[in-house]
Amino acid sequence: MHIVDGIGDVKGLVRDDIPKRKGGDKMAKRAGPGESPYTAYDRDIAARAQIWLHEEASKWRDLPWVLFVSFVLPHFPLTAPPHWFYRYWQRDLSMPKQYASDERPQHPYIDTYANTVDYDAHFKSAEDVKRAIAGYAALVSTLDENIGNVLRALRDSGLESSTRVLYTSDHGDNVGARGLWGKSTFYEESAGVPLIIAGPDIGAGRVVDTPTSHIDCATTIMESVGLPPRVNGRALPGASLFALAQGATASRPVMSEYHATGSTAGAYMLRFGRYKYCHYVAYRPQLFDLETDPEELTDVAGEPRYAAIVAEGERRLRAVLDPDAVDARAKARQAELLARFGGREVALARGDLGFTPAPGTAPEMN
């Protein structure tokens, strides 16, 4: 992928009095059967990975190697290859959870995001929603197909028994839950990502419920090729996923933070034990008990019996960082970049990127 004009989506740097994003209709308008630059791009990535495994990997049998294979799907536009789209379109798909307007949770952070990135306003019927869900599910199957081809090449090239495989993603998608589409929230649909590892010394079929983080990936990859998990003499902060897979425990908290499009102030999520604590610099917190409420249907932050848990969540967060200071630092940096690129009015006039273009395709501005 590449950054348009070397600067990308400058409008996303605007953090106060945020205007509504343009192009919100792309989620509904483009859902359906077909091909997009992303589906073609991912097929090409899968093809290049297969060729490397067959023709290059054998040259490194005496040395460790790492192959990074990065796909875009599933990502809007929700245009999916027909052979996958119709498999889902022909099913009786249920509506997303808490989709009805009277079921949607009310929280100022969520409301600001939903009003700024107003994808759902462009869905006019249940059929529109179903079309988007079918498109997303079909793109997931397209991803599975591409990954399957890469793993088959690993097996056919005779490298499967000596190679560790780590699969994860950058984020999930709300896919209509609570009337939300896209990412940018701390609900499991968005912030919870898959993590699967396989290979030598890793027990097949084992499920580990210890929360992990992407910071664990670098440590794990370096360990896998025989390097100490250190950079410039400093130890990396992550835990070994191989150790966790073999029964080790990790008690450190796992967190996410957000300082971008649709957010007027810093937002932080801390996962500890069975609880998910969401801290907002400008708004009241949220708390979910993932053991009793895995679908996050009820925010219990305001219930007196959870007051101590909310306080503990904030204490643990502040042990890692100062949320107000980090928020101020992020905004200062964004303001600096915004000024460098011409200021607020220039950024607004530039418009919104529909989505990051694949190499060789023109950007789409709204």
* CA–CA gap between residue 207 and residue 216 (Å, rounded): 17
Report pTM. Answer: 0.94
The SS3 call for residue 216 is: helix
Q: How confident is the model at residue 160 (pLDDT cuts 50, 70, 90)?
A: very high
Q: Which CATH architecture has domain 254-366?
A: 2-Layer Sandwich (3.30)
Residue 92 C-alpha from the chain's centroid: 27
The mean-pLDDT minimum among 22-26, 102-106, 234-238, 282-286 falls in 22-26
Tokens of 160: 């499967």
What's the average model confidence in pLDDT over 140-144?
Answer: 98
The mean-pLDDT minimum among 133-147, 205-219, 247-261, 310-324 falls in 247-261
Quick check: 2 pLDDT over 70?
Answer: no
Which among 124, 130, 132 is positioned nearest to 27, based on CA atoms? 132
Average pLDDT, the chain: 93
- By the 8 A CB rule, do 237 and 213 touch? no
- By the 8 A CB rule, do 33 and 81 touch? yes
280-338: per-residue pLDDT in tens?
Answer: 999 999 999 999 999 999 999 999 999 999 999 999 999 999 999 999 999 999 999 99
What's the average model confidence in pLDDT over 348-355?
Answer: 81
Residues, the chain = 366
What's the average model confidence in pLDDT over 257-262?
Answer: 92
Question: Would residue 205 be called left, alpha or beta, if left means φ above 0 and alpha means ψ between -120 and 50 degrees?
Answer: left
Quick check: 5 pLDDT over 70?
Answer: yes
Quick check: 68 pLDDT over 70?
Answer: yes
Domain map (residue ranges) of the chain: 254-366
* CA–CA gap between residue 263 and residue 213 (Å, rounded): 23
Q: How confident is the model at residue 257 (pLDDT cuts 50, 70, 90)?
A: very high
Quick check: 220 pLDDT over 70?
Answer: yes
Quick check: 364 pLDDT over 90?
Answer: no
Q: Which residues of 331-344 are buried (b: 16+ CB within 10 A; e: fewer)?
A: beebbeebeebeeb
Give residue 135's pLDDT. Answer: 98
* CA–CA gap between residue 278 and residue 193 (Å, rounded): 17
Name which residue leads in pLDDT, 250 or 113: 113
* CA–CA gap between residue 188 and residue 273 (Å, rounded): 15
Quick check: 206 pLDDT over 80?
Answer: yes
